[in-house]
Amino acid sequence: MPNQYWLVKQEPDAYAWAAFVADGKTAWTGVRNFQARNYLRAMKAGDFVLYYHSNVGKEVVGIAQVTREAYADPTAEDGDWSCVDLTPAQPLKQAVTLGQLKLDAATKEMPLIKQSRLSVMAISDPVFRRVLELGETKL
C-alpha cells in the first residue's frame, strides 16, 4: 500500500521542530478533535508527516515519519482518544510559509488553508510533493 501523507501543527513555543529533533521521537498526544483523532487512527507506520509551526512563524519546517500506529493517548483522562509516535526525518532546506501555500496553485486548496483550526490533517501526494519543491527539499 502506498504511503499516505499528513500534516501536523504545533506551536513552536510549545514544541518546536528543534526540540522534536533533539528528542529524536515523540508521542503525538493531546489531540481532542474527532476529525483529527480519526486522521491519527488512519496513519500507518512509514507515512510521512509535514511538521508545521502554527501561530509563530506559520510555516512548514520539517518532515516526520510515523513509527508507531495509533494507540490510546496516555494523556487522555476521559474519552476515546488516540496518539501516534513520530520521528523526525529531515528539516526542509527552506521553510514554506503559509503565505506561499495560499498563493501556490497546487497548495492553495489544501486542508491547512480550508480548515485552518484542524491540528492533524491528510494531504494529497501532489500537495506533499509540491511543499517539498517549495522547501527545496528532496526526500
State the residue for C-alpha cell 508527516: 49
21 in a structural domain:
yes
Shortest CA distance to 26 belongs to which of 90, 88, 91, 85?
Answer: 85
CA–CA separation, 47 vs 65, rounded Å? 6
CA–CA distance, 115 with 93 (Å, rounded to integer): 26
Asked whether residue 139 is assigned to any structural domain, the reply reads no
Q: Is residue 115 part of a domain?
A: yes
Answer yes or no: is 63 within a domain. yes
**What domain count does the chain have?**
1
Domain of residue 73 covers 5-134
pTM here?
0.96
At 2 the pLDDT is 62
44-90 confidence digits (pLDDT tens) = 999 999 999 999 899 999 999 999 999 999 999 998 999 999 999 99
CATH number for the domain harbouring residue 126: 3.10.590.10
Q: Which of 8, 122, 106 is nearest to 60 (CA)?
A: 8
Q: Is residue 91 part of a domain?
A: yes
Q: What is the mean pLDDT of residues 123-139?
A: 97
Q: Of the candidates 64, 66, 84, 60, which has an alpha carbon nearest to the alpha carbon of residue 74?
A: 84
In a domain, 83, yes or no: yes
